[in-house]
Amino acid sequence: MIFQVKRAMTTNVITIDPDATVDDACAMLLRHHISGLPVVDSDRRLVGIISERDLLELFSDSSCETHFISKYMPRKVLTVTEDDHLTDVVDLFVRQGFRRIPVVCGDKLVGVISRRDLIRFIRDLSWTAPIYRIVPWNHVFF
């Protein structure tokens, strides 16, 4: 059985504005116990992402001139859609080391799928089916 991203993703996503400051991003990450924030404009279009790793790299750069995240956020963001398969997302998490991937419909953010979301989904589903039937692990590793 193939499951789609929409079955496991989080739809109530904490986001940040591109004009927010680095201090704002740090405060939001700490307050919400998350490791990354999708950056969206006023129309909810995904324009970037800022993560703990991005902030650590920024802090180590003594040539920083501005404190707005829009200057430092990666703008080229890997995304998935609600209809993509969870096995493909598992593959991205394992092979590419991603922690979270924004879920979009067109250019609008509709959710995020994280490693934790996927683990929760697999655990919840495994109460009714053996785990090996949920995720074809050979697809991920071989």
The average pLDDT across 94-115 equals: 94
> What average pLDDT is seen over the chain?
85
Which tens digits make up the pLDDT trace of 31-53? 999 999 999 999 999 999 999 98
- Single-letter amino acid, residue 22: V
Which DSSP symbol is given to 42?
T
Token pair 């963001």: residue: 77
Task: List the CATH number of the domain containing 98.
Answer: 3.10.580.10
Burial 52-90, CB ≥16 within 10 A → b, else e: bebbeebeeeeeeeeebbbebbeeebebbebebebeebb
The average pLDDT across 111-117 equals: 95
- How far is the C-alpha of 62 from the C-alpha of 129, rounded, in Å? 53
pTM greater than 0.75 (yes/no): yes
Which tens digits make up the pLDDT trace of 72-97? 788 889 999 999 999 899 889 989 88
Phi, psi of 5 (to 5 degrees): -55, -40
Q: Give the number of domains in the chain.
A: 1
Name 103's bridge partners: 80, 111
The average pLDDT across 128-136 equals: 53
- How far is the C-alpha of 30 from the C-alpha of 81, rounded, in Å? 28
* Segments forming the whole domain that contains residue 105: 5-141
- How far is the C-alpha of 72 from the C-alpha of 62, rounded, in Å? 13
